[in-house]
Amino acid sequence: MLAAGTMIVGGTAANAGARVYAGDCTNGYVNAFETSSDTVIAVAYAGSHVVHLSRGWSNSSGTWVYWARLVSAPRGSTVWLDWSDDAGASHAQCGAETVDGSQGDGRWTWAVPEIRDGGTGYLRSFRAGAWVNGYRIALTGWHSD
């Protein structure tokens, strides 16, 4: 059973048009391990594997941040965080980060700061995505707080 707001699609087209890639996320973004709280905002499922969209307070940046986490997934699976400043019409992407055993049987992305108004009249919105076993993509819906 899928949670409300969950979308699962085949292939990799769900990431088409993303503007930022894994290497860019380490420049000015926050390590999710440096947050003082972890609230799961949304989940999506790829088979029995779960991807979380999480939100927490970053003491180092003094702001709320969002990140994606893939839980209990086989090595080679990937997780990413999408964010949009125009209600999802276009988006940037942090990741994909690969499950490699360095974070157990899951993986986190870098955290991206929340922005209340990116100059577009919209709050920054976020969604988490994962690719598991090379055949399924799971995406949460878009969320902002």
pLDDT band at residue 108 under the 50/70/90 scheme? confident
pLDDT beyond 80 at 4: no
> In this structure, is residue 123 part of a structural domain?
yes
DSSP 5: T
Mean pLDDT within 43-72? 88
Count how many Cα atoms sit within 13 Å of the Cα of residue 140 in the half-sphere of its side chain. Answer: 25
What pLDDT sits at residue 140? 95
Is residue 1 domain-resident?
no
Average pLDDT over residues 98-105: 88
* Secondary structure of 68-95 in HEC code, one letter for each residue: EEEECCCCCCEEEEEEECCCCCCCEEEE
What domain range is 75 assigned to? Answer: 7-139
- pLDDT of 114 over the 90 cut: no
Percent of the chain with pLDDT over 90: 26
Neighbours of 50 (CB within 10 A): 21
Residue 145 lies in a domain: no
Locate 70 and state its tokens.
């893939």
Q: Could you tell me if residue 2 is inside a domain?
A: no
Whether 144 maps to a domain, the answer reads: no
Q: Across all residues in the chain, what is the average pLDDT?
A: 76
Number of domains the chain is built from: 1
Under the banding of pLDDT at 50, 70 and 90, the label for residue 32 is low
Task: With a cut of 80, say whether residue 56 has pLDDT above it.
Answer: yes
Residue 80 lies in a domain: yes
Beta strands 39-46 and 78-84, pairing class: unpaired
Q: What is the H or E stretch that residue 110 is in?
A: none
Average of per-residue pLDDT across 61-88: 88
